[in-house]
Amino acid sequence: MNRFFAGKINPKDKFIIISDHTQLHHLRDVLRVKPREEVAVFDGSGNEYIAAVTEIASGAAKLEIKEKRPVNEPGVKITVACAIPKNVKMDDIVDKLTQLGVQRLIPLQTERVIVKLDKQKKAERLLRWQKIALSAAKQSQRSRIPEIDPIAEFKDAVLAGSDFDLKLILTLEGQRKYLKDIFNDFPGKIEKVMLLIGPEGDFTADEVALAKESGFLPVSLGSQVLRVDTAAIAAVSFIKLNEEH
């Protein structure tokens, strides 16, 4: 079934209006959806419906809500704070982590991040990443679009990570535990996880120390040195698999 994004949907409404140019163009001109045809519509906040098209005009399409669909979202809420990589695109990380069910992604500026962006470039990248997250959420049948934060300094992301059951920092140095051991030994239910992923060259010793002071546990994914995107996908995939067993 074709699936479209609309703005915030009021559950009390009987109709949904799609006026966004991109979504309307896709509905009307690309897929050539006809009146009375049923489609899925979601608002990125957890509301999703089956709706029948009643009107298609040049500026908007009107759809009548038929039924509410169940929310297709993971149980464990994962926030990933990921250093902006040099040799791979952050675009790909946003796309893959959205498909895997991450709730929030924080692009990080750390001491060893090589990519430097001015204010305008940061705003342009954020808008691009938000569009990629929307597209990936549609493709992967997610009911919510992950929150993509503006690029943050490492210390700000760490100090904001207080409301989590489990906080982890992937690092190549020092005393660490394997991810599977941390999950196996955790005494309670894990509902919210925050994961810090460093750049090429790893976090600095000072950054790791600051994270540990804030309650983050140093983690190893194994003996191989992984690229940023590979580490992000591997760690989140493990958490997702652990959630389902």
pLDDT band at 185 (very low <50, low <70, confident <90, very high): confident
Residue 245 has pLDDT above 50, yes or no: no
pLDDT one-digit tens code per residue, 39-50 = 999 888 888 899
Residue 37 is predicted with a pLDDT of: 94
Residue 240 has pLDDT above 70, yes or no: yes
Residue 13 is predicted with a pLDDT of: 87
pLDDT band at 74 (very low <50, low <70, confident <90, very high): low
92-117 average pLDDT score: 93
pLDDT band at 87 (very low <50, low <70, confident <90, very high): low
Pairing of strands 61-68, 15-18: antiparallel
Residue 216 has pLDDT above 50, yes or no: yes
Q: Which domains does the chain have, with CATH numbers?
A: 3-68 (2.40.240.20), 77-243 (3.40.1280.10)
Q: What is the pTM of this model?
A: 0.85
Q: Chain-wide mean pLDDT for the chain?
A: 89
Q: What angle do CA 208, 82, 107 make, to 5 degrees?
A: 120
